[in-house]
A and B are shown apart, each in its own frame.
Chain A
Amino acid sequence: MSILNIFRSSKKNTASIAKERLQIIVAHERNQRSGPDYLPILQKELIDVIAKYVKIDRDQVKVELDQQDDCSVLELNIMLPERESNTETA
């Protein structure tokens, strides 16, 4: 019984984990759905431009449009390869 109790208290119940994960992913996916039509093309072209100058892994590039109150923020997040990192500046 004591083992069970330790297990219980140390672990969060899984339903609340499920709810948190769902809230995040659903909000993210709704945001993508409601984004402007040009966003996917903009994302692709931005990545193409960066790829022209820097060797990048396409999976390591994130382009996101976030709505914050009355303004939109275009967020560009690129992981530059380690070796070339001293020649690139963010």
Chain B
Amino acid sequence: MAKIIVVTSGKGGVGKTTTSAAFATGLALRGFKTVVIDFDVGLRNLDLIMGCERRVVYDFINLINEESNLKQTLIRDKNIENLYILPASQTRDKDALTTEGVEKVLNKMKEEFDYIVCDSPAGIEKGAHMALYFADSAIVVTNPEVSSVRDSDRILGILSSKSKRAEEGEDRITEHLLITRYAPSRVDRGDMLAIKDIQDILGIPLIGVIPESQAVLKASNAGVPVIRDENSDAGIAYTDMVARFLGEDVPMRFTTAEKRGFFKRLFNKEEVPA
């Protein structure tokens, strides 16, 4: 029986789709049969990040309306076995997502897959609500920035009150904090919220820290999830995050400023005469 994971944040532009693509790819690379679903009806983008935009024939709404079947609709990743993409509809509006329709599709996929990753749209409206409603776990993507942290807290409130698990009094959704676009050197300078600050405020366990990285834009340019750029900092950080999700104990990386020796020397020289 598949586990459903929602990648959510409230705020837009923090890295939900980048994370969904990397996370789903990472799970598939570990041998799990995984599908990643784009819930952003009307603003589909996961297909571009996954590099399959030209292979979209049917979409999520077609599937809900039974205009196509699973086999026709799911796009199989060209390079990675066990990885499938379900694109959002580009022409319909978000009201086409109904609770019953989404549940029916998810139930069908649950039989076939190990993991179902739901890429939530920004905001707290229908699409975002549908993406999180059936989730077993949530990955809350947060930038070290005030509006992102506040919106993440709002989403945590919704996860604990408006999800299916909450409404039916089942066990809570397992929440994980993923900090993205983290710049340790700016944290050292006092210009950016530190990991601990964000954790103190949100109060949920940390699953990973993705550094601000040039590899992310390069990956989206190429349509290859950044986790496949195995030598990049962001790629490594996502690989670690997948391992932690699977219960492995992996220490955090890229959380302290590099070239510290150089900066330290510089600061020390400044401080001695003063």
Contacts and interface: CB of A to CB of B under 8 A. Distances in A.
Interface string A1-35: 00001000000011110110111011001100100
Contacts of B12: none
A19 B191 contact: no
B13 interface: no
Contacts of B153: 26, 29-30
Interface residues of A, number: 15
Interface in B173-228: 187, 189-194, 197, 200-201
B146 interface: yes
A46 B205 CA distance: 41
A5 B271 CA distance: 11
B232 to A, nearest CB: 26
A22 B150 contact: yes
Given A26-B201, A29-B154, A30-B153, A18 B146 contact: yes
Interface string B138-165: 0000000110011001100100010000
Given A21-B146, A22-B149, A13 B190 contact: yes
Interface residues of B, number: 19
B274 interface: yes
B193 A13 contact: no
A22 B192 contact: no
Interface string A48-68: 000000000000000000000
B191 A14 contact: yes
A27 to B, nearest CB: 9
Contacts of A29: 150, 153-154, 157
A19 B190 contact: no
Max count, chain B CB within 10 A of own CB: residue among A22, A29, A30: A22
Contacts of A30: 153, 157
Given A5-B274, A26-B201, A30-B157, A15 B146 contact: no
B150 A19 contact: no
Nearest to A27: B201
Nearest to A14: B191
Interface of B: 145-146, 149-150, 153-154, 157, 161, 187, 189-194, 197, 200-201, 274
Interface of A: 5, 13-16, 18-19, 21-23, 25-26, 29-30, 33
Shortest Cβ-Cβ A-B pairs, 9 listed: A13-B190, A19-B197, A33-B157, A26-B153, A15-B190, A18-B146, A22-B201, A15-B193, A22-B149
